[in-house]
Structure formats: structure tokens, C-alpha cells
Amino acid sequence: MDKVIEILLVAGYVPDGVTHGETYRIVTQASYPSVGAEISTGGRKRFVLPGTTKRATVGKRIVCFYESVNEQAMGFRNFRTEDFAAIAAILEGRRI
């Protein structure tokens, strides 16, 4: 994740907060009748390329590139966080 963030920063992206995150507990078969596993959602780091509509979020497993036009997100492209070659290609403007 740190390497992807470094790649984004070098490409001119700047930090733009984090996505909304929540943590909750669910009952699992092993924990029944008690509450068991803890599940977390959101909390991904957000980045923006200044002067453009381009945005990115970075999580432990997935990097998402998208555009925000009139406050509407569109054109999502998801990549595994370890897929540095594909991420670099996107940032260089190459089609993959």
C-alpha cells in the first residue's frame, strides 16, 4: 500500500482524506449465540490529481481510479494493490 501511495504522489496526486468507514460485529456460526467476528468497511485513503477530475482510493487490497464530474463518481477501474505495473500504466496514460 505504501508503494502505491508513493507512486501516486510522484504522479502528482495529493491526499484528499479517507472514505467513510464503519466497524461492526456479526454473529458467526462459531460464536453463536454471542457476537463474533468484527467487520470493517471503508477507511480507504483518497487522492486527487489537482486541476483534473481524476481521483483514486487506496486500500489494503484494491486501488480504484475514477473521475468525479459534477460530484458524481464514474469510470471506475479497480486494480490489486500489488499490481504496480498496471497502476503505473494507468498513471502514464497507457491503455491496459
pLDDT digits (tens, 9 = 90+) for 36-67: 666 666 678 999 999 999 999 999 889 999 99
Whole-number pLDDT of residue 71:
87
Whole-number pLDDT of residue 57:
94
**Overall average pLDDT of the 67-91 stretch:** 90
- Give the integer Cα–Cα distance in Å for 86 and 70: 27
For residue 29, being part of any structural domain is answered with yes
For residue 31, being part of any structural domain is answered with yes
For residue 22, being part of any structural domain is answered with yes
Whole-number pLDDT of residue 95:
59
For residue 96, being part of any structural domain is answered with no
Total count of domains within the chain: 1
Whole-number pLDDT of residue 35:
66
| φ, ψ of residue 64 in degrees (nearest 5) | -120, 125
- 63, 13 contact by CB (below 8 A): no
Residue 62, domain extent:
2-91
pTM summary value: 0.75
